[in-house]
Amino acid sequence: MNYDLNGNIVTLTFDDGKANAVGPEFLDNINAGLDRAQEEQAGAVILRGREGMFSGGFDLGEFKKGPEPGMAMVKRGFELLVRLYSFPLPLVAASTGHGIAMGAFIIMACDKRIGSRGAFKMSLPETAIGMELPPILVELTASRISRRHMTRVALLSEVYNPEQAVDAGFIDEVVDADDLGARSMAVAEQLAQLPQAQFAANKLSVRAATLQAMRDSVEQFGKA
């Protein structure tokens, strides 16, 4: 993961050359990048993937190691979602391509979400692959996805292209791939001008109920 500070805007770029799978190393790196952004008193943070791929979701290889490594990874991933959704600095998601499962949830946890136009997919495939959505994911999805699309997204696992994803609520806008970097930076710079203390306080206030439900879900995760 690359950390770049341009003025007071931090860009964290995911690029493992593959699906940008969310595994232990990814989680270590993104949390370290967020820590550093706060330490350096950044004004805003951009999260972006490599060309054509934001993230394909959790690292399935961890599940093959046994239940404990898989469960530990998932819980850390859920903790990351809580951190992102309550992060005191403005977060901009620059969705450079596919955003699937955990990749889509990371995008939804950001404050402003900009997608790249192209033949890219956004979806929550959990139902289609036989998985139940834990309450934390239901809460985050319900807070972001339009009620008109909630059944199609969370229950039917429908796949959306970038333009459809705007209407559904996965992302806020779509731009040409060549314009994504500049547009994301412009939005981040605009958000960085907001009074930081009030932004952080109001984020927690506006999202209080959802965040509490998300934290409760993380606390109960894995318990019998």
DSSP H or E segment with residue 5: strand 2-6
Can you point out the beta strands (E) in 30-136?
44-48, 52-55, 91-95, 97-100, 112-116, 122-123
Task: Kindly report the pTM of this predicted structure.
Answer: 0.97
pLDDT attached to residue 146: 98
Contact 93, 40 (CB under 8 A): no
Half-sphere exposure of 157 (CA within 13 A, CB side): 11
The answer to whether position 145 is within a domain reads yes
Q: Tens digits of per-residue pLDDT, 131-189?
A: 999 999 999 999 999 999 999 999 999 999 999 999 999 999 999 999 999 999 999 99
Residues spanned by the domain of 141? 2-178+194-220
β-sheet with 97-100: strand ranges across: 52-55, 97-100, 122-123
The answer to whether position 84 is within a domain reads yes
Contact 50, 94 (CB under 8 A): no
Q: Using the 8-state DSSP alphabet, how is residue 46 labeled?
A: E
**For residues 137-163, b (16+ Cβ closer than 10 Å) or e, as one string?**
bbbbbebbbeeebbebbbeebbbbebe
The answer to whether position 186 is within a domain reads no
pLDDT attached to residue 222: 79
Per-residue pLDDT averaged across 63-68, rounded?
90
The answer to whether position 208 is within a domain reads yes
The answer to whether position 116 is within a domain reads yes
The SS3 assignment for 45 reads strand
The answer to whether position 189 is within a domain reads no
* Backbone φ/ψ region at 87: left (φ over 0), alpha (ψ -120 to 50), beta: beta
Domain count, the chain: 1
Q: Tens digits of per-residue pLDDT, 10-35?
A: 999 999 999 999 999 999 999 999 99
The answer to whether position 201 is within a domain reads yes
Count other C-beta atoms under 10 Å from residue 65's C-beta.
Answer: 12
The answer to whether position 187 is within a domain reads no
CATH of the domain at 56: 3.90.226.10
